[in-house]
Structure 1
Amino acid sequence: MDLEKILLRKVGEAVGRFRMIRDGDRVAVALSGGKDSLTLLEALLLLAKRAPVEFSVCAFTVEQGKFLRPIAPLGEYLKERGVDWTYYQDRPSLRLLEEQPEHGCDLCSRYRRRAVYEIARGLGANVIAFGHTADDFCESFLRNALFTGRVSALPPITYSRDKEFRLIRPLAFVTEEITSRFASSLGAPIVPCGCSLRTGTVRKSIRGLFSEIEKDYPHLKETLLSAMGNLETDRLLDPRYLDLDGKSERAARAILPILTE
């Protein structure tokens, strides 16, 4: 199947299943300059032309002093594509690079979140789209289960604390293998971020685990994604969801399909 069709089918499935985008929305794509966010932007621009609801797409990039290449070529590419793009230099984050305080990563994350909301507000957006892929969902799921003792992953849709913005992750069913191929086909300038290259020990372990298992089970990620949508809460160890007194009727379950290519 054509790569663009595969991408749009998977993005469309996520958008439709979780009601990510609705009529009249203005969606701001958090564009980091990497392959995932570029793929997300292109997918939403294509989807806006054929979706049953009307919505507009814009993009923004937050400069925190971590890009490993000049950002100008990306801006030129987006201008040629006619994309409404905002480039924002976050001064508090840039000061962090000079001061190198303790817990700098936590502060950086907090500053980035604040900047994202300020930019989206200025763009008149009510939806913010992030480029987390199926790989990120699966890694988060395993990391939480194996290292924090929680059955939890990333939410495909959530809201900012004050409900001002809907936060969505339309690449929930799209693997990094697809975003790599698709971004390469665009011919867009990829601008790597220094933070993305500093992979923690836990994440390296999980990625290594995936690589080994996928040699024998190539659809591992799709199966894990399906598992995240097929919870049997009465077969876990949380008393809140167990029928301790034998009084509840067990409801029939409709198993969600595994979404493959």
Structure 2
Amino acid sequence: MTKELNALTGYVRRCVDDYGMISEGDRIAVGVSGGKDSLALLCALSHLRGYYPKAFDLEAITIDLGFEGMDFSPIAELCRRLNVPYTIIKTDIKEVVFDVRQEENPCSLCSKMRRGALNDAMKTHGYNKLALGHHFDDAVETFLMSLLFEGRISCFKPMTWMSRAGVWQIRPLIYAGEQRIASLAEKLALPIVENPCPQDKASKRHEIKELIHELSAQHPDMKSKIFGSMQRLPLDGWGKQTRDAKSASADNE
């Protein structure tokens, strides 16, 4: 067990406690894309279930978008070591988005189809909560994207009730910064599956990420202040947080 995993699990537990994300007897599925964030979340939740006072079941699920050459067997091996059941759902999302529909905004349709596939899998396997790997930086970026591109003050919620699917989406990583997660992924040699999507570096999120990087060079605490303001407003769904906002964000610059 590494100090990095212990630290990340501490962030996850504090977030889980602050927002009441886990209840006794929950069946939680981690949406594993193959990226560092979802793999780090899987490891942290696996570690947490060993001592958390509320017992919960943990499983991992991957939506295979249909890109050629994607090998999820290293993730299957990680799940075996963690004693976490693993399911891969094969889809034709890549073909529909890029070949059939030829979408000008493929990310939007792909996201909707992935959510649909995840929701179907949740129903089939009897999960009641879906854990997603959005982290501290994702929250700040989403807030700025909504503000600058849509003229709205908005962000995803720490917990979201999906009425059609009848499940909760939870985001236990929102107190953990991307740099911390990347360090953990390197330390544990997590089996990252590279995203072959041609739109991976061409999104508005990537533009915002670069903008934040430039501004943070002059204002190092900018992300913490934005995150804190989201909690103090509070944004819809963020008001359950009871700690000083600085405590959740100060270590993520």
Q: TM-score range by the shorter chain?
A: 0.7 to 0.9
> Structure 2 CA distance, aligned partners of 1:157 and 1:122?
22
Note if contact 1:130-1:167 (Cα within 8 Å) is conserved in structure 2: yes
Q: Larger C-alpha radius of gyration, 1 or 2?
A: 1
SS at structure 2 position matched to 1:122: helix
Residue 245 of structure 2 is aligned to residue 257 of structure 1: yes
Gaps of 5+ in 2: 236-241
Can you list the C-alpha shifts for 1:75-113, whole angstroms capped at 9, x where unaligned? 22322332200011014x254267331435444333222
Q: Alpha-carbon deviation of 1:197?
A: 5.8
Count of residue pairs brought into register by the alignment: 240
> Structure 1 CA distance, aligned partners of 2:168 and 2:203?
32
Residue 60 of structure 2 is aligned to residue 59 of structure 1: yes
Equivalence map 1:180-259=2 (5 Å): 180-195=182-197, 198-200=200-202, 202-231=204-233, 256-258=244-246, 259=248
Note if contact 2:62-2:89 (Cα within 8 Å) is conserved in structure 1: yes
Aligned match of 1:245: none
What amino acid is the match of 2:132? F
Aligned match of 1:87: 88
Aligned match of 1:48: 49
Note if contact 2:66-2:95 (Cα within 8 Å) is conserved in structure 1: no
Note if contact 1:68-1:191 (Cα within 8 Å) is conserved in structure 2: no
Note if contact 2:107-2:199 (Cα within 8 Å) is conserved in structure 1: no
Note if contact 1:68-1:192 (Cα within 8 Å) is conserved in structure 2: no
Equivalence map 1:42-191=2 (5 Å): 42-66=43-67, 69-91=70-92, 93-96=93-96, 99-103=99-103, 104-162=106-164, 164-191=166-193
RMSD: 2.5
Q: Alpha-carbon deviation of 1:202?
A: 3.2
Can you list the C-alpha shifts for 1:53-84, whole angstroms capped at 9, x where unaligned? 11111001111123764222222232233220
Note if contact 2:29-2:59 (Cα within 8 Å) is conserved in structure 1: yes
Note if contact 1:156-1:172 (Cα within 8 Å) is conserved in structure 2: yes
> Structure 1 CA distance, aligned partners of 2:203 and 2:116?
28
Provide TM-score, normalisation by structure 1: 0.82
SS at structure 2 position matched to 1:73: helix
What amino acid is the match of 1:256? D
SS at structure 2 position matched to 1:215: helix
Note if contact 1:128-1:166 (Cα within 8 Å) is conserved in structure 2: yes
Note if contact 1:65-1:97 (Cα within 8 Å) is conserved in structure 2: no
Aligned match of 1:248: none
Deviates more, 1:217-226 or 1:20-29: 217-226
**In structure 2, do the counterparts of structure 1 residues 98 and 163 end up closer, same or farther at CA, with 3 Å as the change threshold?**
closer
Q: Alpha-carbon deviation of 1:8?
A: 1.6
Can you list the C-alpha shifts for 1:157-187, whole angstroms capped at 9, x where unaligned? 1111236100011111111111111111222
% of aligned pairs identical? 31
Q: Alpha-carbon deviation of 1:211?
A: 1.2
Can you list the C-alpha shifts for 1:180-201, whole angstroms capped at 9, x where unaligned? 1111122221101223862335
Provide TM-score, normalisation by structure 2: 0.85
Q: Alpha-carbon deviation of 1:212?
A: 1.9
